Structure 1
Amino acid sequence: MLSSYLAILLLLGSAAAQNVTFQNSSQTRLRVDTGTYGPEIEEVHYYYDQWPIGIAVASDGRLFTSYTRGEYRYTLGVVANRTSERPYPSLDLNLPLNQLNTSYNGIPFGSANSTGFISVQALYITTKTSSRPETLWVLDTGRPTIYNSQMEPSMPYAQPGGPKVVAISLSNNTVYQTFTFPAGVHYPDSYLNDLRFDFHSNLSGTSGKGIAYLVDSSNEGRPGFIMLDLGTGDSWRRLTQDASVLRGMNDVPSYQGHPFYFRQKGSPIQWQLEGLDGIQLSTDGERLYYSPLSTNYLYSIPTQNLRERDTNKLAEVQAHANVSSHGQRGGNGNGFEGDTNGLIYQLMPEHNAVYYFDPNDGLTHGFVRDPRIIWPDGGSIGADGYLYLNINQLPYQPDWNYGVDTREHPGAILRCKLPNGERRSPVSTSESDSEGGDS
């Protein structure tokens, strides 16, 4: 009888132990994952209003941010103080909410307005040269999120004029150039996600006035690269639906230890659908590194293949043939950045971390990890040699969780010092034409 009683107690104790999560690392002899490594993290700015996406740091220290819309009052901003931001350059350039989208025969489309900001995804700053001011480049998707009467989200198709690249002079805060795309280059289901620049004058396939490499991350299934000649405004595509730009099939990442499935109100449970995401040029501009959001692999391609025009009937075939795989990197990767040492920094939302790929040894290494890095959704290296990170808790947003918002204010901009006094990769500016410092 006593033995049966003891057996029951042991069974109950075992069941209770299975429901206890270990919390206090000071009372164990075991090695414990502290959740941190790398340089010290500093908290630079706190978001209490709109949750950010893009970030860029100017040479004078100004911090610019973008916010995909939705319901936000503005989509491009600048940090005003430690806890607030304001519209940039002015609220007038941000289209009012009632002008963000329209419909044709019942099919929703984003606005075709080429002068007002609709939904800005990414930002990038290039340095001052003799022919161009220090510039904030603004990538407008033209595709805001809209909600029906049941508050179920959807994204209208793009129409020419809405998706655009806008150049703003940081010396006088005015727009001096705008580029839009024809429907055969930017599809209705395209989604502009990120951009990089090279202003060397001797680039094959260009006018010599510079080129932008743009990411089309298309959830609908046609991701690829869009190239934009900054001298002529011509644009073209490469690697559309190449295996290296497609989303990982049925990929289930883990965020803060929890497996993640995409749960959108009004839709069945599925997987993250985004394809091509992070990009970064090598320091000489001859190779572009990239990866989809929902795979663990890093790829690259010679930029010459991306610049090749359709007058070469083999251009697309040769581009597909010259994709290089650099193998797995240890998790899904989001935004990229690069430094003067040629390191390719990759934001790793599954690990609350930033990794870097070193082309010299072909390996991925850990750079910084911290429990505060809950979905790093943009990175920018400043002239001060710090890597700045936007933190927005994206997996907890309502659009990914049946309409329930479990994010906790504040969001944040964090920063940490680069190793060995490194600075931002200089490829965005021609060495022979540079006048300003890194930005």
Structure 2
Amino acid sequence: MKQKISLVALAFIVVLLSACSAKDSFEKVAESDYQWTGIAVSGEGRIFVNYPTWQLASPFKVAEIVNGKEIAYPSEEINNLFVCVQSVVIDKLNRLWVLDPANPQFKGVVEGGPKLYQIDIQTNDIVKIYNFPETVYTPTSYLNDVRIDTKDEIAYMTDSEDGGIIVLDLKSGSSWRALNSGCPAVLANLDGIDFKSTGKSKGITNSDGIELSEDNQTLYFSALTANILYQIPTSVLRDTMLVPEERCKEVSVLNNKNVPTDGMVLYNNSLYMADLPNESLWAFDLKTKEGRSFDFGTTIRWADSFAVGADGYIYFTTSQINYPEKERVQYGIYKFKPQ
């Protein structure tokens, strides 16, 4: 009897140790010779990516991944309309949004300014193009990420170069700079990021990652070169009677021990994002206000943008921004099942 109990106990210990030592896992979906940043996954599982106009020239601005291959989207002709696409997003109505900061190689916003494109993925046609007045962006602005409130038809965007949050009323087409660089929350608070593989960087990037709460009532955001996660009621951002200084007073700290991250995505009450210094991923539970590190047993070379698929997986791109070009491998799209 004692021997049987001992064997049962031993088996339990083995299972427990195996569970404790098990690493998180992810799988590769696609790879490319060209640097991509944004990713969007439709309700049918179609995958869209974008390629910023930075250093290495890409034949694509926006592409769809079909059978693991990149195909210009919606077409090669329309790709030529884009200047420097930084973000692609699928909203709850299964519409594709393409954010073009029109600032190639960060040399300044070109004539015509930034644009937000709405694309019907069923017909593959551009439905609408939103332009921004010069009161909303600066000559050096770089509109970085976007989220869509499909209930009130509002778009929220970050300016990662100058620091700021821009709001666009999709019904009227009017837009305004809701928060500007006078608000510390949209600015970097670190002098660089110390990557485990490549060392300390000197680059400074302001407000970057952005996400909406499930009810669209709260906007979460963070600067890239920062370790603080913020939140603000979207009603404050939408109130055009307020000035940026008044809105800034309504910003609150959600986590003052966050990880420097690029993009972020909400899934089951947790914000999933990059852990850039440790070249891994991080999740912040909005209920418990606790963070969790992932251990994939391998280096993730700058997880850039995230998207949730209808299959329950979270998809992300790697952009390898902290690596010299000669040390880069192929850029990847990966997916993992959040626990």
TM-score of the two chains, using structure 1 as the length reference: 0.69
Q: Is the 8 A contact 1:248 1:295 kept in 2?
A: yes
**1:384 corresponds to:** 311
**1:272 corresponds to:** 203
Which residue of 131, 139, 148 maps to 1:188? Answer: 139
Q: CA deviation at 1:370?
A: 4.3
Q: CA deviation at 1:274?
A: 1.0
Q: CA deviation at 1:372?
A: 4.0
Superimposed CA distance per residue, residues 319-375 of structure 1 (whole angstroms, 9 cap, x where no aligned partner): 111111123335311110001x22111211222222122221222222554424211
Which residue of 172, 184, 209 maps to 1:232? Answer: 172
**1:165 corresponds to:** 116
Aligned pair 1:80/2:40, yes or no?
Answer: no
Q: Is the 8 A contact 2:217 2:235 kept in 1?
A: yes
Q: CA deviation at 1:127?
A: 3.2
CA distance 1:223–1:37, change in 2 (3 Å): farther
Structure 2 alignment gaps of length 5 or more: 1-20
Q: Is the 8 A contact 1:169 1:176 kept in 2?
A: yes
Q: Is the 8 A contact 2:265 2:273 kept in 1?
A: yes
- Matched letter for residue 300 of structure 1: Q
Superimposed CA distance per residue, residues 236-282 of structure 1 (whole angstroms, 9 cap, x where no aligned partner): 0122111111123422x222344223xxxxxxxxx212100111111
- Root-mean-square deviation (Å): 1.8
- Matched letter for residue 237 of structure 2: L
**1:41 corresponds to:** 26
Structure-1 separation of matches of 2:257 and 2:22: 17
Aligned pair 1:396/2:319, yes or no?
Answer: no
Structure-1 separation of matches of 2:243 and 2:258: 32
Superimposed CA distance per residue, residues 264-305 of structure 1 (whole angstroms, 9 cap, x where no aligned partner): xxxxxxx21210011111111111111100111111111111
**2:265 corresponds to:** 337
CA distance 1:367–1:329, change in 2 (3 Å): farther
- Matched letter for residue 54 of structure 1: G
Superimposed CA distance per residue, residues 5-48 of structure 1 (whole angstroms, 9 cap, x where no aligned partner): xxxxxxxxxxxxxxxxxxxxxxxxxxxxxxx965421111121x
Q: CA deviation at 1:214?
A: 0.6
Q: Is the 8 A contact 1:69 1:118 kept in 2?
A: yes
CA distance 1:299–1:413, change in 2 (3 Å): same
Structure-2 separation of matches of 1:344 and 1:379: 10
Structure-2 separation of matches of 1:351 and 1:318: 36
Which residue of 83, 89, 98 maps to 1:124? Answer: 89
- Matched letter for residue 235 of structure 1: S
- Matched letter for residue 42 of structure 1: E
Which residue of 202, 211, 217 maps to 2:160? Answer: 217
Number of aligned pairs? Answer: 316
Structure-1 separation of matches of 2:22 and 2:133: 46
Structure-1 separation of matches of 2:230 and 2:203: 20
> Within 5 A, what are the aligned runs for 1:353-372?
353-367=280-294, 369-372=296-299
**1:152 corresponds to:** none
Q: Is the 8 A contact 2:280 2:299 kept in 1?
A: no
Structure-2 separation of matches of 1:287 and 1:368: 30
Structure 1 alignment gaps of length 5 or more: 1-35, 96-115, 129-133, 146-154, 202-209, 262-270, 399-404, 420-439
Which residue of 323, 334, 339 maps to 1:414? Answer: 334
Q: Is the 8 A contact 1:353 1:370 kept in 2?
A: no
- Matched letter for residue 118 of structure 1: V
Structure-1 separation of matches of 2:275 and 2:130: 31
Structure-2 separation of matches of 1:368 and 1:287: 30
Structure-2 separation of matches of 1:275 and 1:370: 30
CA distance 1:256–1:212, change in 2 (3 Å): same
- Matched letter for residue 41 of structure 2: V
- Matched letter for residue 76 of structure 1: V
Aligned pair 1:316/2:316, yes or no?
Answer: no
